[in-house]
Structure formats: C-alpha cells, structure tokens
C-alpha cells in the first residue's frame, strides 16, 4: 500500500511537471489559427493563447496567462514604456542576409561633401526626405527625428501643432522634398502644402508633393532626390544607402557616392565608405520576450526548439513553431544574458526622447472606471511611442454627466459617447463633436415607432395625442426623433412634446443632467408608467442603452401603453450574427413608419425608421475663436493620427501594436466597440449616416407653447453654469 501511494505521488509529480512544461505564446489576431493549432500536435511544449494586441499580451504575461511572445519593433517600444511590465528579452529574430547588423533599420543622414558638419550650415539647404505617414516599415517617430533634433522647434502659439512644425522646417530649409501626409485632416494637409510650397519644390511632382517612382513609398526616394534633383542633405535608412551607392562587399560604387558624407549628431562627418557610420535612430529587430518568472528556462529551450531535428516521431510541432517564430528567411539570435526589455529599448538611438519643448497642453481624456483609465494610459504610451503630439492625459470622472461638466469647465477636453447622448451634450453643456466614430453597417442607430400588432386605436401619428407612450430616455435619440417627425407632420401645433402625451414613461424627464436650459417644470404624467419611479426619484434613467430599450419594450407590453419609441439596433444581440433579444417576440408588434404606413414585426428597412445615423462620437468644447480654434484643430489632428496608427485598419505589422477600438480587459471602454474608424468633422458631408445624425440634431430647435425658451447651441442655463463652477472648484 505504501509503495502504491509513493507511485501515485511520483506519477502526480510527473504530470504536474508535464503541465508546467507547456509554455503559452501570445497569438495575435494576424497569426494563422491553423498554424496555432498545429503547434500543439505530438509532444508539443507550446500552445497559443489568443490576444487582441501587444498590450493584451503584456497584461496576460503579467497575470501568468501567457509566457512569451514574438514582438515587432513598434510593439517592443510600446511595452518597454510601461514601468511595471516585467518583461525580459530572450533574443532577436533577424533577416539572414542582415544577421550581423545590430538593428533592423538604422537611419542615417547624408550631406554633400563640400558642406561642413555644422547644423547651422544646413540652413537654406535643399532637403530630401523619404516621406512621412507613408511607410509601414518605419514609424514617423524615426522619420522625423533628424528634423526635431537639428531645428530645435520653438513654441509658436499662433499656429496649430502641425503648422507649428511645418512652418519651422520650411523656414530652416530651402527648396526641398518632404512628401507624405503632413496632416491627417485632408483639408489641413492641402492648405499647408499650398502655403509652404518650398517643401515640395524638389519633388518629382511639386503639385502632388510626391516622388514619381514605380514604388512611390520606396525608402530610396530621398537618395534619388539627393543625387538627381539637386538635393544637399537627405535622410535614409543605412541599408538603402549601401544598396543605392553600391557600398556592399563585392559591389561597384555608383551614383557618385564619393560626393557625399555621413552627418553625425556631434556635427562631425564620416566618409560614406565607413562600414560603421553614425546613425540617427535604430529600429530593433523582431524580438522574442517572456515574463521574468520563466525567462531563463525559456531562453534555454528556444534555441533547441529551433534547431532540433523535427523528423523524430512526435516532433512535427517544431516545424510549425519555426514557421511562426522565424519563417524561411530569418534566424534566431539569443542574447547572452536575459535583459529587461526596457533596458534594451532604452539603449542609445533606439527610442531617443524628443529634445524640443512641449508646446501644447495635453489632450485630457475624461475616463469613467478603472479599465477605461488603464486603457487610456496605454493609448497615451502608444501615442508617445509613435511620437504623436499633443500628449494624452488621462483623468477620472465620476460619470458621463460629470465628464460633460468638466469638459465644459476646461478641466478635461474629450470623451467618447454614444450619439444617444449627443443632443444633451450639445444643448445642455454646449459641447460639440471633435471627430465622429464611423461604425459597422449593422451598428447605425435605427429609431422605430412600435405599437402592438392588435392595436387599432392608432392609425397615424396624428392619433398619438394624449396616448400613453414609452421612451428609453428623455432627450435621447428616440425622443428627438419623435420631435422631428412631429415637426415635419405639423402635429404638435406649437405644443411642447412634453405636454402632448398622456400618462407615459420618459425616464430622465426630471433629471437635472438632461433638462434643457430654462425649461419649465414638466407634468408628472411623463413618469406615470415608469416601473422605478417614486417621489424621490421620478422616472430615473438606469442601465445600459440596451437595457433602457428593453425596458421601453416592457413598458409597451406590460404597462398598457399605446406606443413605444425605441432604437431597434440596441435590441439586437452581440456577435457576428445579430438577432432580436430573446425576451421579445417580434410577431406581437408592428412598426408605424415615418410615411404613416404599418409594417408587421420589427425588422424594417431604413426608410421606415424615424431616424438612422452613426452610433458614437468624440465630444469636446465648441471652438469660439483664437486659442480655442487652435486647440480644437490639435485635438482633431491627434485623433486622426491615433486612428491611422491604432485604428481598425492597421498598417502592416503595426496592426498588433494597440487596437484602440477593441475591448480592454473584456470591457468596452474609451471608444465604442461598434466603432471602426474616426472621421474628420470637416469631411462629414461625405458620410451619409453622419449627415442624417447632424440633420436630426438641427431639426429640433423650435419654440413651443408651455415653454418660454428657444434652444441654441451657445446658451447654457444658470443651473448648468452653477454645476460647471462646482466641478471647476472641486
């Protein structure tokens, strides 16, 4: 018996060892799912753990849910900025042809030999640049480093941030070619290129400010500008310089290489034939990293994994692991001793800080809850790793309306909201859209007027007077959609909609956060059908937007109401296949269309709906001239840059760096999970659903009987001003 117990203990220890011997690798969305499955065959010691992006991977390594990862340069730079990320470097994954190079990309600067190395001597010279915002291999942080180092930008308060930079580059250099997207806002980009034409004069096409090459994004473009277009100083990757001038072993020197020298940070020069020239930035190789607790044991395992004979039975998984980590044209180079990722990235030239003064205030994001605050901080680090400006500051608000007041009171600058709250944000708090959030096709709001299938008392909208109505929220999309259709049909006859219905449920009708400026007290009948209404809190708003709409349907079905105004999209289930919530039987209802006809069920076309439009937007203050206009432009440009870098459509491998529209720790925070991109407000005319939303907002401004005010965008009630002052003094 004793022997048997010992045998079981030993067996359990072996099993425990085997369990712990399986290491979990971060599997990014771009990683092939079949390849991940294949890694686990046979006697595999590795399995995939799905992650959303590099931040999700870091969080999982921190919690022990993942052990190691293959990171791109940009992913590595971002994770190195988190002080609490205890991540160790195990080795580098290099291209075989460049195995002796310490970095994957080394940026260098070439000048004509007759020029001295003095930076001041570069003033007025002809400058050739590869282009900004066009390369998927090199971030703008590296591409702009030379300019920011040499010119030492000063603060120019009369310009927006982009023009502040472009104007000083234009004043420093003579005729040049600095192609690419200077600004993400197309209208701003066009305006700047018209104003600072000298920065396009040396381009093959000065009108388009671009190089006319078969591959227009070629990183050799600046070298051709230098040697063929009369340039005098150029920025380029070292590998491209060696290829272009024939500087590699066994090649013949070409393109008059002897006419040029390398310019160094210490204002000295080096011969172009120097095999180890000075650099202006180093981009690391792809890296294999792990959490510290398993770093040493993984370091000892990875090399054998990648060189072991995979022909042995049970070893097929090694082939798939090699395909995942190094592929056919790369090789793994282990570090001698594991080193913290932060120390590796902070070595000279990899992530050099900007020497220029921070001329702009941070864009202060009002966050609600722990997860949103943490995600905001990661977005701030991601923006910093890409060299995006202004910086992002993350601040905590108590709730949505607290954030509205703080933004209106200049304590914060922005928050992402559902358009359900857009009317209140504008009319009560005098805020406006900084950028719109484009969303998936099935995520546009769709406002319907719903009655029971057997209802015969309502034949048209004109029959609604004194009827019992249910709404999700006062001054939400459903409410203003009714106001809009009522105005179009002329059924209110100047009567306030608040006085139009009989006993109803309109949550928030007495909530000071939702009431418009100087509104008269409304009748208690607006709350009579609300389940949670009481003397202390008359028809409060509670729950998510989906829950509010479900409550509205419950009001219609169980409170003997006549009609419900709901957002149909909010009633659909999550996931790829959208279906109506299981608690609702569509056959029991019919929709009163905007043209006065009825359609059975709830799944109707958009032309039947009272309103459709985008689902979310980022809200900020209304610019009222001067510095406000500049700050608004800066904020817009930053959001568009974030969209380009971390939006749904990532560029190349950068798609895994940080996915700002994805959930964070399983929660929808910072942006709405239906969002797929950000839209410049100056380009709203090109987006139908944005136009429809704006039209809906603008058509609810008429004066009505029983109400002594007229709504305007700039009028704020004394109550709102008082609340803003309280927030400001807190």
Residue with token string 């709404």: 471
| Cα–Cα distance for residue pair 224/207, rounded to 1 Å | 18
Q: What is the mean pLDDT of residues 254-272?
A: 94
| Cα–Cα distance for residue pair 385/140, rounded to 1 Å | 10
Tokens found for residue 372: 């949103």
The answer to whether residues 624 and 432 touch, using CB atoms and an 8 Å cutoff, is: no
Mean pLDDT of all residues belonging to the chain: 86
Q: Give the model's confidence band at 415: pLDDT under 50 very low, under 70 low, under 90 confident, else very high.
A: very high
What are 35-46's pLDDT values in tens digits?
899 999 888 999
Tokens found for residue 368: 């609600």
- Say which range, 1-15, 410-424, 550-564, has the weakest mean pLDDT: 1-15
The answer to whether residues 103 and 350 touch, using CB atoms and an 8 Å cutoff, is: yes
| Cα–Cα distance for residue pair 509/33, rounded to 1 Å | 51
Q: Give the model's confidence band at 386: pLDDT under 50 very low, under 70 low, under 90 confident, else very high.
A: confident
| Cα–Cα distance for residue pair 709/482, rounded to 1 Å | 19
User: Which residue has better confidence, 294 or 360?
Assistant: 294
- For 635, the enclosing helix (H) or strand (E) is helix 627-646
- Tell me, which fold does domain 363-441+615-683 have in CATH? D-Maltodextrin-Binding Protein; domain 2 (3.40.190)
The answer to whether residues 706 and 499 touch, using CB atoms and an 8 Å cutoff, is: yes
- Candidates 235, 258, 229, 208; CA nearest to 151 is 235
What are 161-219's pLDDT values in tens digits?
999 999 999 999 999 999 999 999 999 999 999 999 999 999 998 898 988 754 454 77
The answer to whether residues 166 and 197 touch, using CB atoms and an 8 Å cutoff, is: no
CATH of segment(s) 23-100+285-346: 3.40.190.10
DSSP string, 122-152: GTT--EE---BS--SSS-HHHHTHHHHHHH-
Give the β-pairing of 469-470 and 563-567: parallel
| Cα–Cα distance for residue pair 14/3, rounded to 1 Å | 17
Alpha-carbon torsion (321, 326, 332, 337), positive or negative = negative
- For 693, the enclosing helix (H) or strand (E) is helix 688-698
pLDDT > 60? residue 711: no
Tokens found for residue 583: 């608690």
- Candidates 248, 242, 234, 267; CA nearest to 110 is 234
Q: How far is CA 326 from the centre of its chain?
A: 29
- Say which range, 464-468, 519-523, 582-586, has the weakest mean pLDDT: 519-523
- Candidates 330, 93, 326; CA nearest to 318 is 326
**pLDDT at 70 (0 to 100):** 95
Q: What HEC string does 239-286 produce?
A: HHHHHHHCCCCCCCCCCCHHHEEEECCCCCEEECCCCCCCCCCEECCE
Q: What is the mean pLDDT of residues 519-526?
A: 82
According to DSSP H, which parts of 288-430 are helical? 295-307, 316-325, 341-345, 370-385, 400-408, 422-427
Tokens found for residue 650: 């990532």
Strand partners, 26: 49
pLDDT > 70? residue 424: yes
For residue 635, the number of C-alpha atoms closer than 13 Å in the C-beta half-sphere is 28
According to DSSP H, which parts of 451-491 are helical? 477-489
DSSP string, 35-47: HHHHHTSTT--EE
Strand partners, 283: 105
Structural class in CATH, domain 105-282: alpha beta
| Cα–Cα distance for residue pair 647/655, rounded to 1 Å | 8
pLDDT > 60? residue 707: no
Question: Coil, helix or strand for 431?
Answer: strand
**pLDDT at 314 (0 to 100):** 67
Structural class in CATH, domain 445-610: alpha beta
How many Å from the N-terminal Cα to the C-terminal Cα in the chain?
Answer: 72
Q: What is the mean pLDDT of residues 17-42?
A: 83
- For 417, the enclosing helix (H) or strand (E) is strand 415-418
Check residue 95 and give left, alpha or beta (phi > 0: left; psi -120 to 50: alpha). beta
What phi and psi, each to the nearest 5 degrees, are found at residue 662? -80, 160
When computed from its CA atoms, the radius of gyration of the chain, rounded to whole angstroms, is: 31
User: Which residue has better confidence, 206 or 140?
Assistant: 206
**pLDDT at 445 (0 to 100):** 94
What are 323-338's pLDDT values in tens digits?
999 988 899 999 888 8
Residue with token string 């390849």: 35
What phi and psi, each to the nearest 5 degrees, are found at residue 261? -135, 160
List of residues 6+ apart from 325 with CB closer than 8 A = 70, 93, 288, 302, 306, 332
What phi and psi, each to the nearest 5 degrees, are found at residue 144? -95, -5
User: Which residue has better confidence, 447 or 537?
Assistant: 447
List of residues 6+ apart from 20 with CB closer than 8 A = none
User: Which residue has better confidence, 608 or 704?
Assistant: 608
**pLDDT at 249 (0 to 100):** 78
pLDDT exceeding 70 applies to what percent of the chain?
A: 87
- Say which range, 166-180, 200-214, 444-458, 659-673, has the weakest mean pLDDT: 200-214
Task: List, by residue range, all CATH 3.40.190.10 domains of the chain.
Answer: 23-100+285-346, 105-282, 363-441+615-683, 445-610
**pLDDT at 713 (0 to 100):** 34
Q: Give the model's confidence band at 628: pLDDT under 50 very low, under 70 low, under 90 confident, else very high.
A: confident
User: Which residue has better confidence, 674 or 725?
Assistant: 674
Residue 636 vs residues 458, 569, 640: alpha-carbon distances, Å: 46, 28, 6
Check residue 649 and give left, alpha or beta (phi > 0: left; psi -120 to 50: alpha). beta
Size of the chain in residues: 730
pLDDT > 80? residue 715: no
pLDDT > 80? residue 124: yes
* DSSP summary character for residue 526: G
């Amino acid at each position: 018996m004793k022997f048997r117990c010992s045998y079981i203990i030993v067996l359990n220890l072996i099993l425990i060892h085997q369990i712990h011997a399986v290491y979990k690798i971060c599997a990014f969305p771009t990683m092939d799912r079949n390849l991940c499955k294949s890694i686990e065959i046979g006697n595999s010691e590795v399995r995939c753990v799905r992650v959303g992006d590099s931040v999700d991977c870091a969080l999982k390594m921190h919690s022990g849910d993942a052990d190691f990862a293959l990171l791109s340069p940009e992913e590595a730079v971002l994770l190195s900025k988190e002080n609490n990320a205890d991540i160790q470097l195990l080795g580098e994954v290099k291209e075989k042809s460049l195995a002796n190079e310490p970095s994957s990309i080394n940026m260098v600067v070439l000048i004509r030999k007759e020029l001295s190395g003095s930076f001041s001597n570069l003033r007025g010279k002809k400058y050739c640049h590869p282009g900004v915002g066009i390369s998927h291999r090199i971030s703008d942080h590296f591409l702009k480093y030379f300019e920011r180092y040499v010119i030492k930008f000063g603060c120019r308060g009369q310009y927006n941030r982009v023009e502040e930079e472009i104007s000083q580059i234009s004043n420093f250099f003579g005729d040049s070619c600095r192609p690419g997207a200077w600004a993400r806002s197309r209208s701003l980009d066009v305006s700047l290129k018209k104003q600072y034409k000298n920065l396009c004069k040396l381009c093959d096409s000065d009108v388009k400010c671009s190089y006319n090459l078969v591959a227009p994004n070629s990183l050799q473009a600046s070298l051709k500008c230098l040697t063929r277009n009369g340039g005098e100083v150029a920025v380029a990757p070292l590998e491209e310089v060696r290829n272009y001038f024939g500087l590699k072993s066994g090649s013949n020197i070409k393109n008059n290489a002897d006419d040029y020298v390398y310019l160094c940070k210490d204002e000295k020069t080096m011969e172009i034939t120097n095999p180890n020239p000075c650099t202006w930035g180093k981009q690391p190789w792809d890296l294999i990293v792990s959490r510290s607790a398993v770093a040493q044991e993984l370091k000892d395992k990875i090399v054998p994994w990648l060189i072991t004979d995979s022909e042995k039975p049970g070893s097929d998984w090694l082939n798939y692991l090699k395909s995942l980590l190094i592929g056919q044209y790369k090789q793994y180079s282990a570090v001698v001793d594991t080193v913290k990722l932060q120390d590796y990235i902070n070595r000279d030239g990899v992530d050099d800080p900007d020497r220029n003064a921070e001329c702009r205030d941070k864009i202060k994001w009002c966050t609600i809850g722990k997860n949103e605050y943490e995600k905001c901080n990661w977005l701030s680090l991601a923006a910093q790793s890409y060299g995006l400006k202004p910086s992002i500051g993350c601040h905590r608000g108590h709730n949505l309306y607290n954030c509205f007041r703080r933004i209106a009171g200049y304590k914060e600058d922005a928050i992402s909201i559902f358009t359900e709250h857009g009317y209140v944000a504008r009319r009560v708090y005098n805020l406006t859209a900084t950028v719109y959030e484009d969303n998936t096709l099935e995520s546009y709001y769709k406002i319907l007027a719903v009655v029971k299938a057997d209802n015969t008392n309502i034949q048209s909208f004109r029959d609604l007077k004194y009827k019992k109505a249910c709404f999700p929220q006062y001054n939400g999309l459903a409410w203003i959609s009714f106001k809009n259709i009522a105005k179009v049909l002329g059924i209110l006859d100047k009567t306030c909609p608040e006085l139009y219905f009989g006993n109803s449920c309109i949550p928030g009708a007495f909530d000071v956060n939702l009431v418009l400026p100087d509104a008269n007290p409304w009748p208690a009948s607006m709350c009579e059908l609300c389940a949670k209404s009481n003397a202390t809190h008359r028809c409060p708003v509670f729950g998510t937007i989906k829950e509010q709409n479900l409550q509205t349907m419950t009001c219609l079905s169980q409170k003997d109401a006549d009609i419900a105004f709901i957002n149909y999209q909010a009633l659909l289930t999550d996931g790829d296949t959208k279906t109506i919530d299981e608690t609702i039987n569509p056959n029991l209802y019919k929709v009163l269309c905007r043209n006065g006809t009825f359609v059975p069920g709830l799944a109707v076309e958009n032309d039947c709906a009272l309103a459709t439009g985008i689902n979310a937007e980022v809200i900020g203050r209304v610019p009222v001239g001067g510095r406000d206009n500049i700050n608004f432009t800066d904020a817009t440009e930053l959001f568009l840059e974030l969209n380009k870098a971390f939006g749904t459509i990532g560029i190349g491998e950068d798609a895994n760096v940080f996915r700002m529209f994805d959930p964070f720790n399983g929660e929808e925070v910072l942006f709405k999970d239906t969002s797929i991109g950000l839209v410049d407000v100056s380009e709203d005319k090109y987006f139908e659903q944005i136009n429809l939303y704006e039209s809906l907002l603008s058509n609810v401004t008429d004066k009505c009987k029983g109400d002594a005010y007229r709504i305007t965008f700039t009028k704020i009630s004394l109550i709102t001003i008082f609340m803003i002052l309280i927030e400001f003094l807190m």
